[in-house]
Amino acid sequence: MARILVVEPVAAAGVDVLSAAHETDVRLNLDRAAMLKALTEDGGWDALVVRSQTRVDADLLAAAAPRLSAVGVASVGTDRIDLDAATRAGVMVVNAPTGNTIAAAEHTMAMMLALHRRIPAADASVRAGEWERSRHTGSELRHRALGIIGLGKIGKAVARRANGFEMRVLAHDPYLTAEQASEHGARLVGLLELLQRSDVITVHLPLTPQTRGLIGRAEIEAMKPGARLLNVARGGIVDEAALADALASGHLAGAAIDVYATEPMAPDNPLRSAPNTVLTPHLGASTAEAQERVAVEMAEQLLEALAGVTPIYAVNAPAVAPDVAPRLRPYVDLGRRMAILARQLSPAAFDCVALTYAGEIGGWDPSPIRTAVLAAILEAVTDQRVNAVNADLVATERGLAVRESRSESSGAWASLLSLETGEGEGALRLAGSTAHGRPHLAAVDGFEIDAELAGRMLVTRHRDQPGIVGSVGTALAAAGINISSLELSRLSEHGEAMMFVSVDQPIPEAVLAELGDISGMVEVRVVELPGL
């Protein structure tokens, strides 16, 4: 059972999911020193759960080492997480990118309506005893051009709602095609065209080095006079000083801002005194429904990470499309088991690995398979944690060369994974696939084998001659060792043969020596693979 430390408020539904599977402790309002101390208590923690305030940096990761293996972020944004440091430490970071989609989209529309209908100012006026209807005359959304920067999950949800208000939707997103944008009622345009043609602009991007300051002074000056700007994404994307100046000069008619470069909002933030603004304290995901969805989504991802599975929303590990993940996962496990087998069967040390993806898996992103193979190979030669998060990095650092190729031909299998370690005479060549979701070895150095890759196996190479199989069975039976399955293959009649024998009990060295002395026996060894 893993130990999980929760240090920020997370909806009870998410905590319940974690608690049902592992020991989970909730400790809120810890200052930095108290948190670092807590991470070292009682032997440490396997996972840490944060939300949006805790800074997970190299110092915190070092304090939590070596036990910490995963960080769950109960939000979309991970800008408070040092992803490079987490990757080097082999700590998987998971978040909840879909749970707050509806809440953020609805908050965007609420901000847009409040801005256009001057609702905050009108509310304040009535509360002050005034009744000045003409001063609070607003404008309609219908037929206005809405520019959406970032047509991800939230951007698409905003586009659908804007279409319901009969707005004309423009979108800028370098990762989408025009056809994909049109499916959500948006016309794909360049950033400059969007800035110049939109009456309302809303930002829906993550905060990255590339998006920080994306909407700066030059971009704001390029906007249509009288336009309005919204940011319900991440602080730091919009230059707040430039925006305040544009509002004060009248170049922009208004702004609705939910996120800020510094949170809580700094006392000297120029937007506090800027005219025609609607300001909220980072409420985009603050609905009861969203908080529950986010908490549960994060918790489910974290449990997968702790179980050794790469979740679909792992931030610093190879991502897999949700529709592909269930089909790819058995091959990820297959790759891991083949690598463990290769590690034990390779005749010599090796510094290169070649992977070939044939059949259906050849059309998928093979990154999760590759990292599973590398992690299984490297974990035996290093004392640092190696997993899907840092396998590529560790392989590079240790000089392990990796070659990948694809093939349409997979023989009798729908998909076939081939793994080759080393080169020349010292090379080992394996091939494997899955049957009913279970990992199967299909070939070893040209021998066709259909052996399930699990548990303890006796592996022999011997001359193809009468009596060897019987002698092996007799020796194992005399030692009280039960055979659960046996697979035999030969390259040619009276040539060399190979046998994989799954056994239920350990095989003593004396019995291995006896097997090795059987006439015609070339090689005998025992391999250990994870159970199913």
Give 348's pLDDT tier (boundaries 50, 70, 90): confident
Tokens of 67: 């036990």
Beta bridge partners of 171: 148, 188
pTM: 0.71
**Which residues have C-beta within 8 Å of that of residue 129, sequence separation ≥ 6?**
none
Model confidence band, residue 87 (pLDDT cutoffs 50, 70, 90): very high
Of 168, 184, 282, 462, catalytic: 282
Residue 108 and residue 242 in one domain: yes
pLDDT at 96: 92
Q: What is the pLDDT of residues 424-440, one digit of tens each?
A: 877 999 999 998 889 99
Is-contact 423 460, C-beta < 8 A?
Answer: no
Question: Given 3-state DSSP classes, what are the helix, strand and coil percentages for the chain, each rounded to the nearest 5?
Answer: 35, 25, 40
Least confident of 13-22, 115-124, 406-415: 406-415
> Does residue 285 fall inside a structural domain?
no
From 260, 279, 298, the end of a domain falls on 279
pLDDT higher than 80, residue 319: no
C-alpha dihedral (363, 365, 367, 368), degrees to nearest 10:
-90
Checking if the pLDDT of 63 tops 80, the result is: yes
Has 234 been annotated as catalytic? Answer: yes
| Torsion on CA atoms 433, 438, 444, 448, rounded to nearest 10 | -80
Task: Compute the distance between CA of residue 203 and CA of residue 79 in angstroms, rounded to an integer.
Answer: 17
Predicted confidence (pLDDT) per residue in 437-467, tens digit: 899 999 999 899 999 999 999 999 999 999 9
* Domain contains 314: no
Q: Same domain, yes or no, for 252 and 215? A: yes
User: Is residue 312, in this structure, part of any structural domain at all?
Assistant: no
Same domain, 181 and 137: yes
Asked if residue 31 has pLDDT above 80, the reply is yes
**109 and 202 housed in the same domain:** yes
Dihedral of CA atoms 98, 261, 188, 324 in degrees, nearest 10, equals: -30
The pair of three-digit structure tokens given for residue 267, joined into one six-digit string: 């006392």
Residue 284, in any domain of the structure: no
Q: In this structure, which amino acid lies at residue 249?
A: S
Residue 349 has pLDDT above 90, yes or no: no
Which residue from 72, 110, 117 is spatially nearest to 91, judged by alpha carbons?
72
360 among known catalytic residues: no
* 243-263 average pLDDT score: 97
pLDDT of 493 strictly over 80? no
Which pLDDT score, from 0 to 100, does residue 461 have? 94
Of the pLDDT bands very low, low, confident and very high (cuts 50, 70, 90), residue 495 is confident
For residue 426, tell me if it sits in a domain: yes
Give the mean model confidence (pLDDT) for residues 292-300: 96
Same domain (yes/no): 147, 109: yes
Query: Mean pLDDT score of the chain, rounded to an integer?
Result: 93
Tell me the pLDDT tens digit for each residue of 203-225: 999 888 899 999 999 999 999 99
Q: Say whether both 258 and 130 belong to one domain.
A: yes
Residues whose CB is less than 8 angstroms from the CB of residue 301 and which lie 6 or more positions away in sequence, other chains included: 72, 94, 95, 96, 311, 312, 313, 314
* Backbone φ and ψ of 319, nearest 5°: -85, 145
Cα–Cα distance for residue pair 434/334, rounded to 1 Å: 7
Integer Cα distance of 5 and 181 in angstroms:
41
CA distance 171 to 456: 57
Q: What are the tens digits of pLDDT across the range 3-18?
A: 999 999 999 999 999 9
Say if residue 48 is in the same domain as residue 21: yes
CATH of the domain at 387: 3.30.1330.90
Q: Are 229 and 223 in contact (CB under 8 A)?
A: yes
Q: Is the pLDDT of residue 143 over 90?
A: yes
- The CATH number assigned to the domain holding 64 equals 3.40.50.720
Domain's final residue, options 424, 453, 482: 453
State whether 131 and 66 are in the same domain: no
Q: Does 311 fall in a domain?
A: no
Q: Is 263 a catalytic residue?
A: yes
Rounded to 5 degrees, φ, ψ at 473 are -60, -40
Q: What is residue 531's predicted lDDT score, i.e. its pLDDT?
A: 87
Q: Which residues span the domain enclosing 271?
A: 101-279
Same domain membership, residue 275 and residue 137: yes
> How many structural domains compose the chain?
4
**Between 310 and 499, where is the model more confident?**
499
Radius of gyration of the chain (CA): 30
For residue 298, tell me if it sits in a domain: yes
- Mean predicted confidence (pLDDT) in 168-186: 94
> Residues 225, 93: one domain?
no
Check whether residue 167 and residue 227 sit in a common domain.
yes
Catalytic residue among 166, 263, 289, 423: 263
> Which listed residue (107, 116, 168, 234) is catalytic?
234
Which pLDDT score is estimated for 378?
92
Residue 388: pLDDT band (50, 70, 90) is confident
Instruction: Clarify whether residues 363 and 507 are in a common domain.
Output: no
* Listed residue (45, 54, 50) closest to 23, CA to CA: 45
How many residues comprise the chain? 532
* Nearest CA-CA partner of 433 in 337, 514, 505: 337
Q: What is the reported pLDDT for 309?
A: 80
Query: Is residue 13 one of the residues assigned to a domain?
Result: yes
Say which amino acid occupies 342.
A
